[in-house]
A and B are shown apart, each in its own frame.
Chain A
Amino acid sequence: MVRLITHNLLACHVKNCNANNFPLEFQNVQLEIREAEFNPEFVKGFLPKIEWKALVDTARQLGDTSLPNEQPEMLDDDFLKNLHHVLLEIHVEEGSMVCPNCKHEYPISSGIPNMLLAEHEIA
């Protein structure tokens, strides 16, 4: 499953594609929601690693509008629960991810993203 937490960490790595190569854009996705145990300490601890705009835009594109444009200063439980849901409970099972720069398409099948490149595309 490509969860949004993983998606927020993946960038295009085609040779010479090193600007505007993140976030990859989901296309033709099939989603699955699977409950995960809520651990506020984890969500808070992970927060500094998140590329916020990429996460919010991607969540909205997938139909989840629960996250604010800016990271709030007060981390209340409601916010952390929404963030938990977006990061860990939305699974992209099928579809693909397309690089905004070079348009390389990374397919997702049975929840597994294929990030392999052909020899000539490798840096």
Chain B
Amino acid sequence: MIPTPDLSHLSTKDYDLVYEPAEDTFLLLDGLEADLDALKAAEPRICLEIGSGSGCVSAFLSKILGPSSAVYICTDINPHANKATRGTGRQNQVELDPVNAVFALPLQQRLRGSVDVVLFNPPYVPTSFEEAQMSQNQGNIGGAWAGGWDGMEVTNKFLEQVEELLSPQGRFYLVALKQNNVPEIRQRMEDIFKLHSEVVIERRAGREYLYIIRFTR
């Protein structure tokens, strides 16, 4: 068992503004841990997390791969999340590089075909279109979960962009909810982008049934 990163520097006040690690976060950690040998063997140099929130997942990845063996770039639309991510890196003796951005938009040009590990635990909860739209524009805490009508409105946009980022041996880990229609997501990525996928791990957590999907070329 690899320990969960130390988050003791974050308080309930921080979690009013930034997504607090929850079952979905921990399932992603478990999925990464299950893939540990293959991840290490690929010797990733560039890791990118979209929507890093507290920074918990990237800090974990950096711990398991070795802080000095890769660069860990973390984007989020919420500036409080960027700060928390930076702090979580330092609390855990790893350097995370936060960028306040939508998906990887300012990195897309330079990172084409270069990213070895992409992580995204997206806002996946079904909400009204307006709620998702507003949270996206404001970059507030609502942006942590509001996913539009099928919970996929935000994720779908990134699914259009991720293939272009992946290196030849790149891996993309996505968190999804049962209602997001996991078989459809996988089929679509195969049909449009020829990305193969596997469910690394799945689990019921309270009312949610969650999946970690891994996409590769």
Contacts and interface: CB of A to CB of B under 8 A. Distances in A.
Interface of A: 1-3, 5-6, 8-13, 18, 21-22, 36-39, 41-42, 45-46, 49, 51, 88, 106, 110-116, 119
A6 B68 contact: no
Closest 10 CB pairs between A and B?
A: A39-B68, A115-B101, A115-B106, A37-B68, A11-B109, A9-B110, A114-B100, A112-B82, A45-B45, A6-B97
Contacts of B91: none
B83 interface: yes
Given A42-B45, A116-B100, A10 B68 contact: no
Interface in B104-122: 105-111, 114
Contacts of B86: 1, 111-112
Contact of B106 (A1, A12, A41, A51): A12
A46 B105 contact: no
Interface in B59-107: 66-71, 73, 77, 79, 82-83, 86, 95, 97-102, 105-107
A20 to B, nearest CB: 12
A114 B10 CA distance: 22
5 contacts: A22-B109, A36-B95, A111-B86, A115-B106, A116-B139
B201 interface: no
A119 B70 CA distance: 33
Nearest to A18: B109
Most buried by A among B77, B108, B110: B110
Interface of B: 43, 45-46, 66-71, 73, 77, 79, 82-83, 86, 95, 97-102, 105-111, 114, 137, 139
A37 B67 contact: yes
A112 B98 contact: yes
Contacts of B101: 115-116
A111 B82 CA distance: 10
B83 A112 contact: yes
A111 B139 CA distance: 19
Contacts of A38: 68
A72 B152 CA distance: 48
B71 A10 contact: no
B110 to A, nearest CB: 5
Contact of B107 (A10, A21, A51, A88): A10
